[in-house]
Structure 1
Amino acid sequence: MTRVSGRIVTPDAVVTGHLDLDGDLIAAIVPDDTAGDDVIVPGFVDLHCHGGGGHTFTTGSAPAARAAAAFHRRHGTTTILASLVSSPFALMRSAVDAYRPLVEDGTLGGIHFEGPYLSAVRCGAQNPSFLRDPSMDEITELVTAGAGVVRMMTVAPELPGALDAIGRLRDHGVLAAIGHTDATYDQTHAGVAAGATVATHLFNGMRPTHHREPGPVVGLLSSTATVELIADNVHLHPGMVKFVVADVGPDRAVLVTDAMDATGMPDGRYELGGQEVVVADRVARLAVNGSIAGSTLTMDGALRNAVAAGVPLTAAARMASTTPARLLGLDKTLGALAPGLRADVVVLSADLTPRSVLRAGIPVEAS
């Protein structure tokens, strides 16, 4: 039996006491007012990450993916989707085969294809050379060959064939997300009605809101979709993070990193989807036009920033763990600190800086 002591953050409360672990499972929460000031949260679940520690998910390289996942695990992310950017179909298909062993051994939670079926008008840092309208043949092959591996795909709902594509993803148990879109309010709601359940990095890569045409942001907030938030204080002002959480609640908002390989690395020149990225003062931008190109965020940083923005700690922990675990259908297994769930545990200091990480009860090496 392993015991972790401090302020235990459950989905509904903070309990000072001891978290008892029995092997790979949480056995009990034992209240004790003398347990200390460490903050204990569930392992983070990141739905949207392109790499970190100098390694990328975007090329379909299994060694690079394993190293990127290990980097983020040291920052508390115990479940991660490997996010690719818009790519040729051959790369998408090969990534399914390359990453399957990593999904089977638990290194990855699956693949998120962010594109290539996205709006050229709102492509952001997506490579415009690879953007195209949805192909049912491509999608069918990916979700069939990638059963259990392909977990999410981002689509712009206004594109020809997009609603059918969203329905096909839904029917195969793949999360359909709306993002990089120039959709109207009505087109956005049509995407949700077709089966989309996630908003890819809300606000970013989307038509701005206007009082006579609310567009995708208001369309998504007024729907049933769960919205991703990049709480790095670059993609979103802290006040916007607080506003969205107050509007939709922590059960419809998730923290994501959108991190690239430059995360945890020095400033300099990097590459994303075949385009040069310049990182300066930890902000990543395309060299060609200055568009924000992913982030250098980790999930522990996202949690700290959300709390600093005024989001209650219990809500921020739900957004970082519980809500994304539910979206992936893993909430009966992980995503919260409760007896019977997997012992994915992050021990933070009082300032929410990681002290140690356990995944399935096993300590994660610090370096």
Structure 2
Amino acid sequence: MKWTGRHWITGDTVVITCTEDGRIKRMESSDQRSNVWIGPGLIDIQVNGAGGFNLNDIAARPITALGVLNTLRTYGITRFCPTVITGTKDRMLNSIHAITRACEIDGFMEYSTIGIHVEGPFISVDDGPRGAHNRDWVRDPNWDEFLEWKRVSNGRIKKVTLAPEKPGAIEFIKRLVDCGVIAAIGHSSATEEEIQRAIEAGATLSTHLGNGAHPYIKRHPNYIWAQLAADSMWAGLIPDGFHLPPSTLKVMVRTKGRKAILTSDASQLCGMLPGRYKTYDNGEVVLEPSGLLHLAHTHDILAGSATPLYVGISNMVKFGISNLGEAINMASLHAAELFDIAHQGVGTLCEGGPADVMIYNADEIESGGPIKILKTICKGQIVYSDADA
């Protein structure tokens, strides 16, 4: 297989040839003109659902996870972290089992799943930091419960988000790190001192920094500043234009630099039509025509995101925060570096690396529109092609 397009960083035309086993054999410069761009497949480290498929529904099955994967392919995503959020023990185990079975029966699902992200239930019970997570299902860290997740997933749990102020959380973080699991801080009302203790215990990621927070907090110090100032911490940032104002997003990206990761936090309503929906995990929610997704009883509490990651990276240009190539790196290479798989060629395009490729049109970028995904190539195979491509 061979693909031609303008390099996502340099703008020069390149021709990529891949091997039969799905790796890049050659990437060569070309004098021919191209109207399309070529870059690495996007990596989304937080996906709760998409295209009407909810990983956190009580009725989630392997076909649910495969539906999410197929939807993500239309967004240029080649790898992701399916995310299981706060729920009853049985519902969370069912979600983990559904994702695991999907990986076991579908080779592309296994390949595309970096690892399962469990967000909660060991989070703050406070309104604001709890976000849209159901208060009735919030509980204290329990290592036996984690071991059950690990058993059901056959070791696929790679990231856990929790609040460091919870009883036993610091020791829990240490044990996660010992198991090779990324410990992330999120949905927390921790003090600056508690944040620091979590970092010393091994926490390395802020889950959707700036969100899952009180609407009003002390200007300083607070748990957002404490995480933003921690040089060792990666930060997941949602660039949909609703979770973070452009000015806040810009400051966070500037501060975190190479440790800024763009993610969608996509819900099952990502890609769906505006309207009022009833969901298992959040009850009634409203998807506004603008793309804002919130709980039906309040505009102030977001219910995840309905904005695909490729729109988010396009927003980075629209907001004047970065150029498109830099934004793509924040949604691919930086994520690969967090999971320590960048050395394998994941998150970029290089000879010998995996042929995970996104081909796109950027004609609307200058006028403030999103890129258009034309083809998504995963492990050297075309898994999505736009009808007009």
Same topology, TM > 0.5: yes
Aligned to 2:375: 356
Aligned to 2:366: none
Which one-letter code corresponds to 2:170 in the other structure? L
Alpha-carbon offset, residue 229 of structure 1: 0.8
Pick from 275, 281, 296 the counterpart of residue 287 of structure 1: 296
The Cα offsets for residues 18-38 of structure 1, whole Å up to 9 and x where unpaired, read as 222223111222122433132
Aligned to 2:346: 334
Which one-letter code corresponds to 1:109 in the other structure? I
**Aligned pair 1:125/2:132, yes or no?**
yes
Which one-letter code corresponds to 2:15 in the other structure? H
Q: Is the 8 A contact 2:84 2:96 kept in 1?
A: no
Aligned to 2:367: none
**Aligned pair 1:307/2:307, yes or no?**
no
The Cα offsets for residues 307-359 of structure 1, whole Å up to 9 and x where unpaired, read as 22221333212111111122223221521111111111111112321111111
Which one-letter code corresponds to 1:230 in the other structure? I
Counterparts of 1:171-320 in structure 2, within 5 Å, are 171-207=178-214, 210-211=218-219, 213-223=220-230, 224-249=232-257, 251-268=258-275, 269-281=277-289, 282-290=291-299, 291-309=301-319, 310-320=321-331
**Aligned pair 1:49/2:58, yes or no?**
no
> Does 273-282 or 216-225 show the bigger shift?
273-282
The Cα offsets for residues 231-285 of structure 1, whole Å up to 9 and x where unpaired, read as 0011112222222221111x20111111111111112213151522121222111
CA–CA separation in structure 1 for the residues paired with 2:17 and 2:217: 48
| SS in structure 1 at match of 2:331 | helix
Which one-letter code corresponds to 1:102 in the other structure? A
Which one-letter code corresponds to 2:96 in the other structure? V
* TM-score, length basis structure 2: 0.88
Q: Is the 8 A contact 1:96 1:149 kept in 2?
A: no
In structure 2, do the counterparts of structure 1 residues 318 and 43 end up closer, same or farther at CA, with 3 Å as the change threshold? same
The Cα offsets for residues 65-104 of structure 1, whole Å up to 9 and x where unpaired, read as 1101110111111111111221111222233333223334
Q: Is the 8 A contact 2:282 2:295 kept in 1?
A: no
Which stretches in structure 1 are left out of the alignment for 5+ residues?
none
CA–CA separation in structure 1 for the residues paired with 2:67 and 2:261: 24
Q: Is the 8 A contact 2:85 2:92 kept in 1?
A: no
Q: Is the 8 A contact 1:50 1:84 kept in 2?
A: yes
Aligned to 2:72: 72
**Aligned pair 1:139/2:146, yes or no?**
yes
Which one-letter code corresponds to 2:240 in the other structure? D
Q: Is the 8 A contact 1:17 1:35 kept in 2?
A: no
Counting aligned pairs with the same residue, the percent is 30
CA–CA separation in structure 2 for the residues paired with 1:37 and 1:246: 31
> Does 226-235 or 138-147 show the bigger shift?
138-147
CA–CA separation in structure 1 for the residues paired with 2:147 and 2:155: 14
Q: CA RMSD in A?
A: 1.9
Which stretches in structure 2 are left out of the alignment for 5+ residues?
364-370
Counterparts of 1:14-163 in structure 2, within 5 Å, are 14-23=11-20, 24-59=22-57, 60-104=60-104, 105-107=107-109, 108-121=113-126, 122-163=129-170
Q: Is the 8 A contact 1:262 1:270 kept in 2?
A: no
Which one-letter code corresponds to 1:358 in the other structure? I
| SS in structure 1 at match of 2:200 | helix
CA–CA separation in structure 2 for the residues paired with 1:66 and 1:112: 16
Q: Is the 8 A contact 2:133 2:282 kept in 1?
A: no
CA–CA separation in structure 1 for the residues paired with 2:351 and 2:2: 13
Aligned to 2:5: 6
The total of aligned residue pairs comes to 362
